[in-house]
Amino acid sequence: MYTVNQLKSLVQKDRVHRRIYTDEDIFNLEMEKIFGKSWIFVGHESQVPDENDFITTSLGRQPVILVRGAGGKLSLLFNRCSHRGVKLCMKKNGSARSFVCPYHGWAFKNDGKLMGTPYREGFDDKFFEVEDLDLKSPPNIDSYRGFIFASLSEKIQPLDEYLGGIKSSIDDLCDRSPEGEISATAGCNRYIIRSNWKQQVDNGVDLYHAPFAHASTLDQDGRQFNRHGGGPSFYKPGTRKFIDFDPMGVWGFDNGHGFQGAVPQVDKPAGGAYQELYDSLRRKHGKERATKILEYDRFNTVVYPNLTFQAFGQHIRVIHPISVSKTEIRIYPVLLKGAPESWNREAVRSVAATHSPASMIQTDDVAVFERAQLGLQAESVEWVYFSRHMGAEKAEERGGYKGPGSSEFLLRRQYNDVWLKHMCE
């Protein structure tokens, strides 16, 4: 086990020790402290639209059921019978008023209340009085614009406050829908990264890697992909020279959240479904606001520690740590409610090209994360550096900080201000 002083020695202003990616004890502590003391994204309201709908997922490593009970109330239940610990529900999703244990038939209402124990007479009556045998729940669950988070910590600040400045990214995504709502009901792409979960978080707002990690996907215009005739390009117009990332900016907020500025687009999206979407937003909000909503003024967003998403690539990505060197990623295509069907259909298809396990972009990131895990086995070399643009970030009037686009300040803040703080608590 690590003492506070040992933990502190692993994180310095501009660097972290390799052991935070490779040591099992650190990983176990992270599950308790980082995943125990943050708000963790557990699902989207659209995945449980009606009473009795549920999905099963995990909170950190812990199996949970997200269920919509009577009156639409959301609960998150540990997926574990209170009797002998058997996992109650094996389905990925469905509708259920109750969950019954396959072992001895103990039955629980979908709000967690114990409602049946067969052959009850064999137990002392006092046992049921003294023990709390309802299904347990994390103490906090709340949602923001359909994004559901739960926390294992009783004392955590309210979700709204915890998200703080990064709510603007969730708003940016949801506002694109003419109904102001998204849905995550178009299935899921799952892939395994044979690396520590933080590789994916570290990459969340990294613009600096694109010319190298993604060289094989850039077309002759420097574009990785194209949507509705528009697409960000990594080349300066008319050249094969890489753009300067710094003017794009990167933003960071309390609790480790942040987003990247937009990569300049070669062409603006136009025509067909884009025009239709623009028109319905214009009818609702007026011309100026509709134009503003559809602008891509940011690229990736990270909600620390387990959620990233993109309005341009129209997906939500959820990070599920499995072990110190294994992580599962789930990618959900995002549908904009009320958008033209063809817009959403194109978005779903586009996610297969950019973020599936066989996608042309994500696979190179994963290959690099896995190579980091391999390289970090070199015990004789201790440090991993996050020293780009040290001290260049400036406080923003609206809260948070802004740094040059290739700045690594968000990582410095995540490790020093959030990771180390929680780990030492």
Partner 1 sequence: MAQAHVRVSPVDRKEKSGSVDHHDIEQFLFMEAKLLDQKRFNEWADLFCEDGTYWIPTEEEQVDPYSHASIIFDDKQSMMARIRRLGHPMIHAQSPPSRTTHIVTNIMTDLRMDKKEEFLVDACFTMFEYRDDEQLMYGGRYTYNLKILGGLLLIDKKIVKLVNSDAAHNIMAVYI
Candidates 4, 70, 215, 270; binder of partner 1 (CB under 8 A) is 215
CB of 64 to partner 1, least distance (A): 17
Q: Which of residues 324-343 bind partner 1 (CB under 8 A)?
A: 328-333
Nearer to partner 1 (CB atom), residue 179 or residue 219? 219
Asked if 241 is part of the footprint of partner 1 (rule: CB under 8 A), the reply reads no
Q: How far is the CB of 346 from partner 1 (least distance, A)?
A: 8
Question: What contacts 390, CB < 8 A, 6 or more positions away?
Answer: 13, 14, 409, 412
Q: Which is nearer to partner 1, 100 or 188 (CB)?
A: 188
First to last CA, the chain: 14
Q: Which is nearer to partner 1, 96 or 186 (CB)?
A: 186
Query: What are the residues whose beta carbons fall under 8 Å from the beta carbon of 399, sequence distance 6 or more?
Result: 164, 165, 253
Please tell me whether residue 266 binds partner 1 under the rule CB under 8 A: no
Determine if 349 is a binding residue for partner 1 (CB under 8 A).
yes
* Whether the Cβ atoms of residue 347 and residue 44 lie closer than 8 Å to each other: no
Q: Identify which of 257, 209, 245, 259 has the alpha carbon closest to the alpha carbon of residue 405.
A: 245
269 and 227 Cβ atoms separated by less than 8 Å: yes
Helix axes 272-285, 287-294, angle to 10 degrees: 130
Q: How far is the CB of 188 from partner 1 (least distance, A)?
A: 6
Segment 157 to 196, residues that bind partner 1, using CB under 8 A? 186-192, 194
Residue choice 357, 389, 396, 417 for contact with partner 1 (CB under 8 A): 357
Query: Which among 274, 273, 277 is positioned nearest to 265, based on CA atoms?
Result: 274
Instruction: Name the token pair of 28.
Output: 């176990």
- Cβ closest to partner 1, residue 301 vs residue 359: 359
Task: Report the C-alpha gap between 247 and 244 in whole angstroms.
Answer: 7
Nearer to partner 1, 115 or 348 (CB): 348
Among 3, 5, 216, 380, binds partner 1 (CB under 8 A): 216
d(CA 119, CA 117): 7
Which residues of this protein are in contact with partner 1, per CB under 8 A?
A: 92, 186-192, 194, 212-213, 215-217, 219, 328-333, 345-346, 348-349, 351-353, 356-358, 360, 362-364, 366-368, 371
